[in-house]
Structure formats: C-alpha cells, structure tokens
C-alpha cells in the first residue's frame, strides 16, 4: 500500500489500464436456489476437516457492526469512500477522517460474537484449513482464530501513502483528538468500515493530521472500494483454496469479485462450496447449498453437534 507501487494521485486503473469503479450492488438475473435450515452439510464438512472459511460482514452484525447489503444494510443510505476519491480530493479525505475518527470510538470497542468464537473453536480442533475474512474489524483474531488472512486489510492500522510507514490506529486517534478538541457530533448511524454518518456541517473544519514520519497523507490500511487487493495476498488465498477440502462462506453476499473469485475457483476445481447467509448471494449457483440461518446460532449449533467447546470469553476488539 505504498505510493510508489500505485498510481496514487490518478484515477484507479486495472492492470489493463482501464478505469475501474467499485461494484456496490448486485441483482440476480435468475431465480436463486432456495435456502435451507439444515445444518448437517456444515457439520459433515467440519467432521472431515480441511474447511476453509471465507467470512463477510454478516458475521460481525451480532457484534453491533452493520453490514453493507443485508436488511437495513448501510448501502441503502451510504456510499462508501472510494480509493480514487480519497487520493484525489483533500476535502474527501477530511470528511472521511472526521467520520472515521468518530466511528472508531464505537467500532474499536466491538467484541467478538458467537459466530467468531465458533470459528475460533473449529480452528482449535484442527478442523479448518484457514480463515479468509473480507472484514476489517479484527474480530476473528480477537476471538482466538490463528493465521487469519485479512483480505481487505485492518482498520486498526494506518499507512502513509508517501513513505509507506505503518502505525497503530490508536496512536492516530490520540493525535486527532488533540487536533480536534471538543469534536463530538452525534452520528445518525455507523457503517461496516467504521465510517460514521455525518453531515458536512457536522464535519465542519475537522483537522486531518499528516504522517508523523514524513508529513505525507495517511490512509487506513484497508482496501477501499475501487482499490485492488494486493496480488500476493490474493495468490496466498488462492493457494489456501487449492488446499481446502471444503469452502465455507459465512455472512457474505459475494457481491464484489474479491470474495466471489475464490468461490468460483473452488467450484471450478470441484471443491464443495457451502454458504451460510440468510439472504441469497451472488455465489449461490456455485454452492452445494445455502443455509439461511443467523450465523451466531447456526455455528454454535454446529459446534454443539460436533461436541466442539466454544469459549464464552473473548478479548476486546481492535482498539
């Protein structure tokens, strides 16, 4: 995520040189396969081991972090920041950091829920081939999961787009507090990326602080909409998919290609794909089945069926 590796101050482009805009929504052009409430396919896959988990925003909703596209999802009221807008517009960066600074106070206190704890329990029992998460909240790790691939990065870390140095988000939060004493607007809602909804009037003249090392522009170490996931990270995930016996998708609509490509890869190789998501997803036609149940209770029930103990306690979130 260093400036020299990307065309930082121009529009985001693909490797082919074409401008790319983010996929924010998806509408099925065919009748989606019906969901089921039968957990046995998930339990059976876990019994066999080698399950690769791919999680999305839906696994964190029970921790108080909203999703993008589910019922009441944030995209119904909010257009997320794009990489192009963030890098090209100082005013957009000011609005982003004002909203993100406020949202971090809530986002950073989020705790793992039953779904995160169940995934960690499956990992402790040696049933998983790994965990890939599209979330930026760090809650899988807080629940005890090991070797998690943060596909879209982590919100608890900040990167300088000029010198490439990294720093903890908590340090930036302290610096922003000092630079914006008394900044405490009331947000109407919070979004999955920790971005609180504020009006331009509430943002006001919020002061953005530069990189402490070089004075450059700071960005959260996350992949924005319209930005490419680092190629090495993608290839690592592809390697995990190749080695998995089953791909288990938890709480993702699979609208964006960053996650859907792994479902297509698995299905193309004959690896069974199971999806636990209450709503239809863009990957349903590639799946053996979709279990339409709330994640926390479904995964806890699957753990009980397998006799896997799920720890009730967990550490705090990324803050």
Question: 130: domain CATH number?
Answer: 3.40.50.1220
Is 214 annotated in a binding site? The answer is yes
Is 57 annotated in a binding site? The answer is yes
Is 103 annotated in a binding site? The answer is no
For β-strands 273-276 and 246-250, DSSP reports them as: parallel
Above 90 in pLDDT, residue 237? yes
In a domain, 276, yes or no: yes
What is the tally of structural domains in the chain? Answer: 1
240 to 10, 122, 152, 257, 267: CA distances (angstroms): 33, 17, 16, 17, 14
User: Per residue in 107-120, pLDDT tens?
Assistant: 878 899 999 999 99
Say whether 152 is catalytic. Answer: yes
Cβ atoms 58, 292 nearer than 8 A: no
Is 64 annotated in a binding site? The answer is yes
Check residues 14 and 214 and name the one with the higher pLDDT. Answer: 214
Cβ atoms 259, 252 nearer than 8 A: yes
pTM attached to this predicted model: 0.84
User: Per residue in 96-149, pLDDT tens?
Assistant: 999 898 888 778 788 999 999 999 999 999 999 999 999 999 999 999 999 999
**H helices then E strands: how many in the chain?**
10, 9
111 to 17, 34, 200, 283: CA distances (angstroms): 41, 32, 30, 28
Distance CA 157, CA 169 (A): 5
Distance CA 156, CA 192 (A): 14
In a domain, 25, yes or no: no
- Active-site entry in 78, 101, 116, 152: 152
Domain span at 158: 3-8+37-306
In a domain, 318, yes or no: no
Above 50 in pLDDT, residue 72? no
Is 63 annotated in a binding site? The answer is yes
In a domain, 122, yes or no: yes
Lowest mean pLDDT among 71-80, 167-176, 262-271, 277-286: 71-80
In a domain, 186, yes or no: yes
């Amino acid at each position: 995520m260093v400036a020299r590796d990307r065309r930082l101050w121009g529009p985001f482009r693909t490797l082919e040189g074409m401008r790319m805009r983010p996929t924010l929504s998806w509408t099925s052009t065919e009748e989606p396969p019906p969901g089921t409430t039968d957990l046995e396919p998930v339990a059976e896959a876990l019994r066999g081991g080698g399950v690769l988990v791919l999680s999305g925003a839906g696994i964190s909703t029970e921790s108080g972090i909203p999703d993008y596209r589910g019922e009441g999802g944030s995209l119904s009221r909010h257009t997320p920041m794009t990489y192009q807008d963030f890098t090209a517009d100082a005013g957009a960066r000011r609005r982003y950091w004002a909203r993100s600074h406020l949202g971090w106070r809530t986002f950073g206190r989020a705790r793992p829920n039953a779904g995160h704890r169940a995934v960690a329990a499956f990992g402790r029992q040696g049933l998983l081939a790994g965990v890939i998460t599209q979330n930026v909240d760090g809650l899988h790790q807080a629940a005890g999961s090991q070797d998690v691939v943060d596909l879209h990065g982590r919100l608890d870390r900040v990167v300088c787009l000029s010198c490439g140095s990294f720093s903890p988000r908590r340090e930036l939060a302290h610096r922003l507090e000092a630079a914006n004493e008394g900044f405490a607007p009331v947000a109407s809602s919070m979004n999955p990326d920790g971005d609180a909804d504020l009006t331009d009037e509430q943002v006001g003249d919020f002061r953005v602080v530069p990189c402490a090392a070089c004075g450059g522009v700071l960005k959260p170490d996350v992949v924005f909409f319209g930005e490419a996931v680092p190629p090495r990270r993608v290839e690592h995930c592809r390697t995990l998919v190749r080695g998995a016996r089953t791909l288990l998708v938890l709480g993702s609509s699979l609208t964006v290609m960053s996650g859907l490509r792994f479902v297509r890869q698995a299905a193309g190789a004959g690896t069974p794909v199971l999806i636990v998501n209450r709503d239809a997803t863009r990957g349903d036609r590639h799946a053996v089945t979709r279990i339409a149940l709330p994640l926390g209770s479904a995964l806890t029930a699957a753990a009980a069926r397998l006799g896997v103990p799920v720890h009730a306690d967990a550490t705090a979130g990324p803050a």
